[in-house]
Chains A and B, each alone.
Chain A
Amino acid sequence: MRRGSRWFTALMISPTLLALALVVLYPLVAAARESMYVRGEGLDADGFVVEGERFVGLAHYAELVGERFLNALANTTVFTVVTVSLETVLGVAMALVMHNVLRGRGLVRASILIPWAVPTAISGLMWRWVFQADGVANAVIGEKILWTTEGVQAKLAVVIADTWKTAPFVGLLVLAGLQIIPTMVYEAAKVDGASAWQTFWRITLPLVRPALVVAVLFRILDALAMFDLPFVMIGRGKLSVETLSALVWDEATQLRYGSAAAYGIVLISYVAVVVFVFVRLLGADLLADARSRKRTA
């Protein structure tokens, strides 16, 4: 019986683990190895031409710290900090609005799903059109800004497009968090004479925090890996919006696998550090949740 149950469990989970080992673990290990090799022809110590891969140790990482890498690192960081902050504020605001909607709830919910449903590549194309020199954005503000050309305005355009698409997603997750707060709590606050502002900061926000933390974590992971939007909206290899993912992709498609892998390893280390710090600072609930789950399971 006991053995049978163990076999059954193993059979149920091993296909998934195998698949993930193939598509995630293998690439990770292979990339780590790749980052220490160089491809193509070279001269060995005795002056002979050698073909194929050559071990270069950490040389790729040493070459990493060039202007282009630092630029991509800065872009990734700026995009993540700015878009996630904007999306959090807007998302919470949207959730509060939706929570209090009396009529047309279905319409609001359907429209909030639209930006989420539009594929990022399509949204990039759409915003590229909106931000054309003769486009509707310039017509509305009455300026002649070349949004989709290199420069700080291109960064701003990408931030706007990303925020449009993902703030509603944050809103949805926060709304779900709001809906499980018992109305009793608000009634008690009212009886105690709390102002709307106090109620928000002292009651709503702390109680909705678990949902908000998860939403923000999802957003951070996505923003750190940003690729499609700047690629489609502004273009390939545009330095003012080039992210780390775009840099990795560009190097890989130029067949410079070694440095592409090194950039990729740096990117995932960056993601890991950010997630670690985030969970340490804000995610006490996440861990507590996992522990309580273990007990009830």
Chain B
Amino acid sequence: MKRALGAGLVVVYCLAPFYWMVVSSLRRTGDIFSTTPWPSPPSLENYTAVFSGHSDFGRALLNSLIVSAGTTALTLILGICCAYALARLTFRGKNLVLGLIMGTSMFPGALLIVPLLKLFTELGWINTYHAMIVPSMSFALPLAVWTLTAFFRQMPHELEQAATIDGCTRWGAFRRVILPIAAPGVFTTAILAFFATWNEFMIALTMISKADMQTATVRVAQFGGASDFDTPFGTQMAAGVVVTIPLVILVLVFQKRIVAGLTSGALK
């Protein structure tokens, strides 16, 4: 009984604010300040408002998808190679390299913004996808290396030996033997990197000034009325739900993998 109560409290704590966002998004504009626990009557008018006319929210979602997928792909290509070397090859200065990569994840994003904003202005990169993808590697790459290294370490040590005996080169052993087995770990890392980039805010806010290049998180934050007093809360909540729903689906489908990925680095 006590256990069920505790679990219930945890569930309510985690879901209540999110539930409130969903409920509010389903109210009619006139009922938005109503505090009934469910929308009566429910209405999709906020969702139509999100995707209607000038707000062009579909474009913002597409931008988010391009930036997140681009960063994830680039990060995985670089991160897999590096994590493989760190986990399974012996070389001098390994701990130094590992320490350096982990150290970079300490860097506050705000510090990177100043020089990169200047550099990208000179390069004419402002309002481009790569102006978001390249800086996003500053947090996605250490995350990927950290998670993948933990996964690669768990694999049996005899794999490469067996492959080399069978006539594989080092590269062949990596590509034909290790990579296929590592696929689940790579997939988990991809989810984590995708989440991190999808949620990114500061870089996208700084590097983009044109509305049609903004990502969804930035666009939502700028959905606003002319003043504080006519903020379209219903529309904001609906847009918030739309941005979050893909992540919630991923969480529900892949929860075991995500938990394994989040905790692997912390325990090993």
Which residues of A line the B interface, CB within 8 A? 4-6, 8-9, 11-13, 15-17, 19-20, 22-28, 30-31, 34, 94, 97-98, 100-104, 106-115, 117-127, 129-130, 132, 134-136, 139, 164, 168-169, 171-173, 176-177, 180, 210-211, 214-215, 218, 221, 224-225, 227-228, 231-232, 244-246, 248-249, 252-253, 257, 260-261, 264-265, 267-268, 271-272, 275, 290, 293-294, 297
Contacts and interface: CB of A to CB of B under 8 A. Distances in A.
Nearest to B145: A16
Interface of A, secondary structure class, is helix
B125 to A, nearest CB: 13
B161 interface: no
B266 A126 contact: no
B199 to A, nearest CB: 4
Instruction: State the majority secondary structure of interface residues on B.
Output: helix
A13 to B, nearest CB: 5
Interface of B: 3-4, 6-7, 9-11, 13-15, 17-18, 20-21, 24, 33, 35, 77-79, 81-82, 84-86, 89-91, 94-95, 97, 100-101, 104-119, 134-135, 137-138, 141-142, 145, 170-171, 195, 198-199, 201-202, 206, 217-218, 220-221, 233, 236-237, 240, 243-244, 247-248, 250-252, 255, 258-259, 262-263, 265-267
Interface centre among A11, A13, A164 (most CB of B within 10 A): A13
12 contacts: A27-B114, A94-B10, A110-B255, A115-B18, A118-B244, A134-B33, A135-B33, A169-B262, A173-B262, A221-B105, A252-B110, A264-B110
A173 B260 CA distance: 10
Contact of A227 (B6, B10, B110): B110
A245 to B, nearest CB: 4
Contacts of B170: 4-5, 8
B267 A211 contact: yes
B18 A114 contact: yes
* Most chain B CB atoms below 10 A, which of A5, A94, A114: A114
Given A9-B91, A15-B78, 18 more contacts: A13-B82, A15-B77, A16-B79, A27-B116, A30-B118, A34-B114, A100-B3, A110-B251, A119-B198, A122-B243, A129-B236, A139-B35, A169-B262, A180-B267, A211-B267, A225-B108, A252-B206, A267-B111
A30 B13 contact: no
A97 B82 contact: no
Contacts of B263: 172-173, 176, 211
Nearest to A221: B106
